[in-house]
Amino acid sequence: MKGVNRQPLSNRIVHALTAISIFALFFTGLGQMPVYKRYMLTEVPGFAWTGDYTITLWWHYFFGVILIAVGVYHVTYHFMRKEFDIVPKKGDLKDSWLVIKAMFTGKEEPPSEKYLPEQRLGYAFIAFWIVVMVITGLIKTIKNVNGFDFSHGVLFWSAQLHNLGFFMLILGVFGHLAAFLFKPNRQLLPGMLWGKVSACYVKFRHPLWKEGKQEAEKIIQKLGGEKKACKD
Ligand code: HEM
Ligand code: HEM
């Protein structure tokens, strides 16, 4: 079926590059702990480099730079286009609870805008911890590369927050992926992969998303109306 345009190519590339760089930062950051020698990942053919501190550190810098560049692009792009659909709104905590409860009980959920309230909260959570990782990561990098003398307190807290952020982002990404265990949420997957989501899905779950709803109505009408187009 023809779908409603939801995620333009730019958003999909930003999402993919963010996901790839965060997974790579998880992996290379862990390498500096260092754990791969101890757990013998270094013995696996092709993985000997994971035990080399300098190599994992430089890959960590490399993906750090990608994450920062993508973040700057993302914020500038949406500010210039005045698109703030994903920024949390008042009442999101309560509404998230209602949406999640509805998924468990099968009852009707409150109507959503382009994003569900828990998606807006999820975005803010992940964005906040990425900012923490970037600031504390940059402090650690300046110390390493320039040998700049920060006070003991600044170094101590950067290291603690960088480690805490690592944990929080694992939680965030895990929670984000766990959301797709729920069937209704899986309808969003084609949007992030190919750009479009089903018109019936938009009509019933995101009726407060103006542009999306209009596009959905047109598609449904062309297909012979709601009864015919949205059977299941
Ligand atoms: C490090 C890994 C990842 C991060 C940090 C991340 C981050 C995000 C954020 C912040 C959002 C917007 C808020 C939300 O919908 O909750 C989002 C949306 C989304 N992500 Fe991810 N993501 C990651 C990996 C993945 C993976 C592996 C998939 C599966 C293919 C995926 C699929 C989606 C989908 C379907 C949406 C919803 C888009 C929409 O509402 O149209 N994400 N992601
Ligand atoms: C998702 C984002 C990130 C994650 C999950 C992450 C994770 C980690 C982990 C687990 C460590 C090892 C603990 C330690 O040595 O203190 C580490 C160290 C480090 N990270 Fe990150 N990091 C992220 C982003 C960044 C960024 C954006 C930068 C810089 C621009 C950065 C720079 C560093 C530096 C310099 C070290 C210390 C290396 C050392 O001196 O041993 N990180 N990171």
Domain range list for the chain:
7-186, 195-232
> Looking at residue 190, what is its pLDDT?
97
Architecture of domain 7-186: Up-down Bundle (1.20)
pLDDT at 2: 81
Cα 149 to the chain's mean position, in Å?
Answer: 34
> pLDDT value at position 232?
66
Burial class (CB within 10 angstroms; exposed 0-12, middle 13-18, buried 19+) of 42: middle
Is 67 close to ligand 2, i.e. is its CB under 6 Å away? yes
The residue whose CA has the least distance to atom 37 of ligand 2 is 140
Residue 157: phi, psi to the nearest 5?
A: -70, -30
Burial class from Cβ neighbours inside 10 Å (0-12, 13-18, 19+) for residue 147 reads: exposed
Pocket test for ligand 2, best of 133, 148, 150 (most atoms within 8 A of CB): 133
pLDDT of residue 231: 78
Q: How far is the CA of 162 from the centre of ligand 2 (A)?
A: 6
* DSSP string for the chain: --EEE-S-HHHHHHHHHHHHHHHHHHHHHHHTTT-TTTTTGGGSTT-GGGG-HHHHHHHHHHHHHHHHHHHHHHHHHHHHTT--TTS--TTHHHHHHHHHHHHHH-PPPPP--SS-HHHHHHHHHHHHHHHHHHHHHHHHHHHHHH-----HHHHHHHHHHHHHHHHHHHHHHHHHHHGGGSHHHHTTHHHHHHSEEEHHHHHHH-TT-HHHHHHHHHHHHHTT-HHHHT--
- How far does residue 180's CA lie from ligand 2's centre (Å)? 28
Find out whether the peptide bond into 110 is cis, omega within 30 degrees of 0. no
pLDDT of residue 114: 98
Region at 82 (left for phi over 0; alpha for psi -120 to 50; beta for the rest) = left
**Rounded CA gap, 73 and 14, in Å?**
8
From the CA of 159, how far away is ligand 2's center (Å)? 9
**Separation between Cα atoms, residue 187 and residue 197, nearest integer Å:** 7
Closest-CA residue to 134 (of 61, 78, 198, 196): 61
d(CA 12, ligand 1 centre) in Å: 9
pLDDT tens for the 232 residues of the chain, in order: 589 999 999 999 999 999 999 999 999 999 988 899 999 999 999 999 999 999 999 999 999 999 999 999 999 999 999 999 999 999 999 999 999 999 889 888 999 999 999 999 999 999 999 999 999 999 999 998 887 889 999 999 999 999 999 999 999 999 999 999 999 999 999 999 999 999 999 999 999 999 999 999 999 999 999 998 997 6
Q: What local confidence, expressed as pLDDT, does residue 57 receive?
A: 96
* Minimal-distance CA residue to ligand 1 atom 24: 19
Backbone angles phi, psi at 198, to 5 degrees: -65, 140
Query: To 5 degrees, how large is the angle CA 213–CA 97–CA 189?
Result: 45
- The whole model's pTM is what? 0.94
Cα–Cα–Cα angle for 52, 58, 60, nearest 5°?
100
